[in-house]
Chain A
Amino acid sequence: MIGLSIVKRKPLPTRFKVILPVAAIVVTILIGSIPILLAGGNLLKAYSSLLHGALGTRFNFLETLVKASPLILTGLSVSFAFRARFWNIGAEGQLFAGAIVATAVGVYGTWLPPALVLPACVVLGFLAGGIWAAIPAFLKTKLKVDDVVTTLLMNYIMIHIMGFLLYGPMQAAGSSWPRSEPIMEAAHYPTLLAHTRLHVGLVFAIVLALAIWFINTRTVLGYSAKCVGTNIQAAYFNGINTDMTILKTALISGGLAGLAGVGEVCAIHYHLLMDISPGYGYTGIVIAMLGNLHPIGVVLSAFFFSCIAIGSQTMSRMTGIPVYIEGVIEGIALMVMLVALLFMEYRIRWTRK
């Protein structure tokens, strides 16, 4: 009987940290071909239509960029949290929190001077997401409640809060759909390119990625978070305030996801609806891992998944492959990346018994 065992090896040099995600993407595309083939698709046609749909025309390319914006933000949110071992599965709910608050400001903030409306949406949306993440963080640090379960349950609680609002107080007058009034013009994100959907949110997201990079490498919080995420006992022993570190991490993480929600309302839909997010919070997890929890990795990884998301719609139209292939590829990418990370430190040894 052939078995395998995992054996420690000499750690690979750091440049492999960049090669690994690329290798993972290649393997993912290979494995992702299997469901496509089984669904009766022509591989060449499938992937070429995906590429074309993502990058083939100016319009497509811009759509891909537009979609990358919320993905960068949720990816940053999750990676920032995971780095400190705060298992934030609740980015989806934090996104909704930000979206709700941004809508509230954008619809009912008519008493504010117009120049302050958009900043208010952004700041309050950030805070809303941050608070929604801080609650499970508080439960984790003070009451030892598992963060995976609480952040998840908070997603469902927030969905229902949103449902309550959209079928109730925030519902657009005279509509039977769960949809809010449109937000005012002053709350719209400025567009970068006239007559396109490319908006300033993308630049904002990339700037935030650089900011997170700065926090990770140059600030005390970033250093503490790294220590807490590596070995919380040693961090505590050496005087790091682990509770505050986790709380601050959660606030920032939730805030970033909240900003994704703000962007969806203020730049794409201009009002709040139940379908404001097609699972960006969960995709953020995959993006974070594929980016190896590094902000620049997250940006690139977000762009990759944006291509998949946009491209798969074209692929679906042209080949009949269901658009859900996107979720399949996401799952495969996550698992492949995990296995790839293993090879940084371990080798597989085949044993014969």
Chain B
Amino acid sequence: MTTDFISPAFISGILSATLRMSTPIMLATLGEIITERGGVLNLGIEGIMLFGAASGFLTTLATGNLWLGVFVAALCGIALAMLMSFLAVTLGLSQHVSGLGITIFASGLAMFIYRKAVGSPMIPPTVKPFTPLSIPYLSHIPFVGDIFFKQYLLTYITWALIPIVSIFLFRTRIGLRVRTVGQNPFAADTVGVNVNLTRAFCLAIGGAFFGVAGAFLTLAHQNMFLIDVVGGRGWIAIAMTIFGNWNPLSGCLGAMMFGFLDALQLRLQIVGVKLPTHLFLMIPYLMTVVALVGVSRKATVPAGLLKPYRREEKGG
């Protein structure tokens, strides 16, 4: 049995599962990095992901079209993010509590619409999920091909988003504005950048990513909707944003670390290693806390994070 550990099939299985299972976390992390770079902490991720999961699933259930489900999930994510924007940016309310409100509201609403649409049948409805896409030629490479080139299209898109988000943040006009708004909103305002609009824009992009990440969970990873389908991944994304020092690549590497631990504990169970399931399930969260401790000393937080920006305040 111990030899099963080191067999190529086992290892390639784990690594392939890692890439697969970290997709939603990576997407959510990228979305939160953009949002926080703009100066807003969005604690609503968990709820928006659940709502994306439910709305995407229900759309596909009704229409049979997977990509339509993804699209609707993205739209719903944007809508919820706009609600967050109204509370935290336009009204300048506490970002912490606004985000928590969104999570509680969106989670409740997700379960509400699912139950209303589907009822409580004995066997929960399923959809025909996405199938992994084998890239011609590359997927035939032994070992490497199995790991990298037999993933969902959504996963490939997520990988492509890493350089895209980096380029967006560091090489485009809007990216410079986003970063300035997040570091010194006063500086941005005095050169004519609309601070609140920029923040709303960041929230919207984040919301779209969160919605799609949620849809991935019900349309690819699994093929049904369960109440705990998100399982804390939204919070992990927030942790990974800090862990990656607000950088798209390192944030996603952190997400992959989490995905690896997640995949590992699943594999070890299947292989029959007699270790308590739940202790293993705990490891990813524990490791995340440890990682955060290691990283928090050097973290360079966007200086304008958490502060609402209001102009007409005489003080200064």
Q: List A residues at the B interface (Cβ < 8 Å).
A: 4-8, 35, 39, 87, 89, 139, 143-146, 148-150, 152-157, 160-164, 167-168, 282, 285-286, 289, 321-332, 334-335, 338-339, 341-342
Q: Which one, B87, B91, B111, B288, contacts A322 given CB within 8 A?
A: B111
Interface size on B, residues (CB 8 A): 50
B170 at the interface (CB under 8 A from A): no
Residues from chain B with Cβ under 8 Å of A168 in the complex = 276, 278
What are 28 contact pairs spanning A and B, CB under 8 A? A6-B90, A6-B92, A6-B310, A7-B312, A8-B313, A39-B112, A139-B289, A148-B96, A152-B232, A153-B289, A156-B282, A157-B282, A160-B282, A160-B285, A168-B276, A286-B104, A323-B115, A327-B105, A328-B105, A330-B104, A330-B108, A331-B101, A331-B108, A334-B101, A335-B83, A335-B98, A339-B87, A342-B93
Q: What is the bound-complex CA distance between A153 and B287, given in angstroms?
A: 10
B108, closest chain A residue (CB): A327
- Taking a contact as CB atoms closer than 8 A, the residue among B105, B107, B293, B313 that contacts A145 in the complex is B293
Once the chains are docked, how many angstroms separate the CA of A188 from the CA of B134? 60
Question: From residue A37, how far is it (CB to closest CB) to chain B in Å?
Answer: 12
Residue of A nearest to B238 (CB): A149
A322 adjacent to B116 (CB under 8 Å): yes
Instruction: State the CA gap A87–B306 with chains docked (Å).
Output: 13
Q: Mark B298-316, 1 if CB is under 8 A from A, else 0.
A: 0000000000001111000
B45-60 interface mask toward A, CB cutoff 8 Å, 1 = contact, 0 = none? Answer: 0010000000000000
What chain A residues lie within 8 Å of B105 (beta carbons)?
A: 327-328, 330-332, 334-335
CB-defined contacts of B111 to chain A, threshold 8 Å: 322, 324, 327
Are A338 and B279 in touch, CB under 8 angstroms? no
- B193 near A: Cβ within 8 Å? no
The residue on B at minimum CB distance from A328 is B108
In the complex, whether B264 has a CB less than 8 A from a CB of chain A is no
Complex alpha-carbon distance, A168 and B106, angstroms? 35
Residues A87 and B313 in contact in the complex (CB < 8 Å), given A39-B116, A161-B282, A334-B101: no
Complex: A160 Cα to B275 Cα, angstroms = 13
Is B109 engaged at the interface, CB distance under 8 Å to the other chain? yes
B102 sits at the interface (CB 8 A):
yes
Q: List chain B residues, Cβ under 8 A from A35.
A: 109, 112
Pair A328/B109 contact, Cβ less than 8 Å: yes
Q: A334 to B109, alpha carbons, bound, how many Å?
A: 14
Residues of A near B92 (CB, < 8 A) are 6, 342
What B residues does A87 contact at CB under 8 A? 96
Q: Is the CB of A146 within 8 A of B292?
A: yes
Closest to A327 in B: B108
On whether A164 and B276 interact (CB within 8 A), knowing A324-B111, A327-B108, the answer reads yes
When distances are taken between beta carbons in the complex, the residues of chain B under 8 Å from A286 are 101, 104
**Measured between C-beta atoms, what is the minimum distance from A20 to chain B in Å?**
14
Is residue B100 contacting chain A, with contact meaning CB distance below 8 A? yes
Task: Report the bound CA distance from A70 to B47 in whole Å.
Answer: 24
Partner of B311, one of A5, A331, A339: A5
Known contacts A5-B311, A330-B108; is-contact A157 B286 (Cβ 8 Å):
yes
Residues on B with beta carbons closer than 8 Å to the beta carbon of A322: 111-112, 115-116
Chain A residues with CB under 8 Å of B93's CB are: 338-339, 341-342
Is A89 a contact partner of B100 (Cβ separation < 8 A)?
yes
Bound Cα distance from A139 to B276, whole angstroms: 28
| A150 CA / B295 CA spacing, docked (Å) | 13
- Complex interface: chain B residues within 8 A of A329 (CB): 108
Query: What A residues does B239 contact at CB under 8 A?
Result: 149, 153
Shortest distance between the CB of A278 and any CB in chain B (Å)? 11
Whose C-beta in chain B lies nearest to the C-beta of A158?
B282
Q: Identify A167's interface contact among B90, B109, B278, B311, CB under 8 A.
A: B278
A139 to B295, CA, bound (A): 12
Least distance between A122 CB and chain B CB atoms (Å):
27
Cβ of B235 < 8 Å from any Cβ of A?
Answer: yes
| B173, CB-defined interface residue at 8 Å | no
A338-B94 contact given A150-B289, A285-B100, CB 8 Å threshold: yes
Chain A residues in 8 Å Cβ range of B115: 322-324
Instruction: Name the A residues within 8 Å of B100 (CB-CB).
Output: 89, 285, 334
B281 interface residue, CB < 8 Å from A?
yes
B104 touches A327 (CB 8 A): yes
The answer, among B112, B285, B312, for a CB contact under 8 Å with A157, is: B285
Do the beta carbons of A160 and B279 come within 8 Å of each other?
Answer: yes
Contacts of B91 in A (CB 8 A): 6, 339, 342
A333 CA / B112 CA spacing, docked (Å):
16
Cβ–Cβ < 8 Å partners of A89 in chain B: 100
- Is the Cβ of A338 less than 8 Å from the Cβ of B116? no
**Partner of A144 from B107, B116, B277, B297 at Cβ < 8 Å:** B297
Q: Which residue on B lies nearest to A5, using beta carbons? A: B312
- 5 closest cross-chain pairs (CB), A and B: A331-B105, A327-B108, A163-B278, A322-B115, A164-B278
A1: shortest Cβ distance to chain B, in Å? Answer: 12
Query: In the complex, what distance in Å separates the CA atom of A149 from the CA atom of B240?
Result: 10
Nearest A residue (CB) for B90: A4
Question: Complex formed: what's the CA distance from A89 to B44 in Å?
Answer: 13
A152 touches B278 (CB 8 A): no
Given contacts A143-B297, A163-B277, contact A289 B106 (CB under 8 A): no
